[in-house]
Amino acid sequence: MRIVPAIDIIDGKCVRLTQGDYGKKKVYREDPVEVALEFQDADLDCLHLVDLDGARKGHVVNWEIVRDIQEKTALSVDFGGGVQTEAEVEELLDLGVHQINVGSLAVKEPETFSKWLKKYGTENFILSADVKGENVAINGWLEDTKFRLFDLAARFEAEGLEYLTCTDITNDGMLEGPNIGLYKKLINRFPRLKIVASGGVSSLDDLKELKYAKVYGVIIGKAIYEGKLSLDELKSFQKS
């Protein structure tokens, strides 16, 4: 199971939200690049990088941080937050970003996402589904929709989708454990997809449960910044 530490950016700083609420923002570090280097020094090789400014505004905002992390680390970065155009996709791939998370656009313009999967390769994209219950939320979690998670996943799996990250917004930032039942349902229904869990992880026991559930990876954010899980613990778990 992949361990994927997260960096969320607002105003160029490393922050975390609680349940996706921009009004419940906490700044943890001033320099996201420094944090990324610490993840690399701990022998973690992946990074989930989210431009929350971009998610809210509908276009990538924090380009300089993306460039700096790509230049100064060897981390395998998956990036999300406001990607809406082919020009942004191409610039991110040219910078060496490993994968691009697409969420809101996949709901609002599914034909565009289908086109990207075909044109640039399914290996370069992650369908990023942020859910309340089993309904998808978009635009930086600010807008609820009636789109069902399983319908969205089925639509794009039929077009070759390989990767799906699912964030349970209700659990995100709460440090009360992930929604194991939701991930088991996804894995049972879509055994071919590589499912990445996100939201609520706060302990090694949570990681063990997700590993037993056979998720492909897990994104960990607030638990690191609040000291619930150390980088040494994550390094050891990944090697176990």
Q: Which residues are catalytic?
A: 8, 130
pTM: 0.93
- Tens-place pLDDT, residues 199-229: 889 999 999 999 999 999 999 999 999 999 9
Question: Residues 63-75, buried b or exposed e (16+ Cβ, 10 A)?
Answer: eebbebbbeebeb
Average pLDDT over residues 51-70: 94
Distance between CA atoms of residues 166 and 169, nearest Å: 9
Widest Cα–Cα separation across the chain: 43
Distance between CA atoms of residues 135 and 167, nearest Å: 11
- Tens-place pLDDT, residues 176-200: 789 999 999 999 999 999 999 998 8
Q: DSSP state, 121?
A: -
Answer yes or no: is pLDDT of 140 > 60: no
Distance between CA atoms of residues 95 and 118, nearest Å: 20
Distance between CA atoms of residues 58 and 81, nearest Å: 8
Ordered by start, the domain boundaries in the chain are: 2-239
As its CATH architecture, domain 2-239 has Alpha-Beta Barrel (3.20)
